[in-house]
Amino acid sequence: MSRPRTLAALATVPAAVAAAHILPAATWLPAVRAVLRPSLDGRGSADHIALTFDDGPDPRSTPHFLRELDRLGVRATFFLQGAAARRHPALVRRTAAEGHELAVHCWEHQPPWLPRPLADRADLERAMTAVRESAGSEPRWYRPPYGVLTATRWWAARRLGLQPVLWTAWGRDWQPDTDPDGVLSQLRDRLTGGATVLLHDSDRNSAPFSWRVTLAALPRLVDRCRAAGWTVGPLAEHGMPTVGRGHAAGRDSR
């Protein structure tokens, strides 16, 4: 849906409904997230960094990341787009076979602004099914497109037993005209022990060939983490409390 059509459609939604839908999306802002939903920040064990990638699988770029991660001896969490996972199941299976954790990003990268509870759940369920059938494992984590966790996306994730998690530090690696130094500079201020790092293994929703910048920055990022005494790995090893399937009311599984 184009931006003018989206704005026109949003104008027809009652103000109270629109506000209730959009308000949780304020957690996109780190300062708001720290107060309202600190668990979304992805804080884990102080001696660990969770390395995560969005927007794959992408046959043009993801294999390069798999090779580099293997060379570095690092495993990561990949937040997959369901439609892409359906198109490239062999790449999904390879990612899982090489020891990486698979999570759900979306079915396709849709704008989040309209309340669409049934459609959000249907899309998320389709994405979960694509990941499950390709990799043979049940995804645990969910990160919405743009990091915008609206009320309907939150509801859909919890009904399906997924735990939403955003990030602690990002490299803004999707932007045009960035370089490895820029990615590392963006990460620097919030890259502390226990952080969850957001990067992208595809330029599907980013500046063309931006993934090459991310790939070039990756070994320097891992070296920096190891020099600080932090291990680098997936969210499964991050020491975060998890919400199990069937805990849709928000009860912690511990």
Residue 80's nearest CA partner among 72, 179, 94, 112 is 94
For residue 223, indicate whether it is catalytic.
Answer: no
Selecting among 21, 41, 48, 54, the annotated active-site residue is 54
Two tokens, residue 29: 């802002």
Selecting among 200, 201, 203, 238, the annotated active-site residue is 200
Q: What are the residues facing 77 on neighbouring strands? A: 52, 101
Task: Please calculate the CA angle 141-79-86 and round it to the nearest 5 degrees.
Answer: 110
User: 235 near 196, Cβ under 8 Å?
Assistant: yes
Distances (CA, A) of 63 to 59, 80, 175, 215: 7, 14, 21, 11
User: 47 near 225, Cβ under 8 Å?
Assistant: no
For residue 100, indicate whether it is catalytic.
Answer: no
Catalytic residue positions?
A: 54, 200
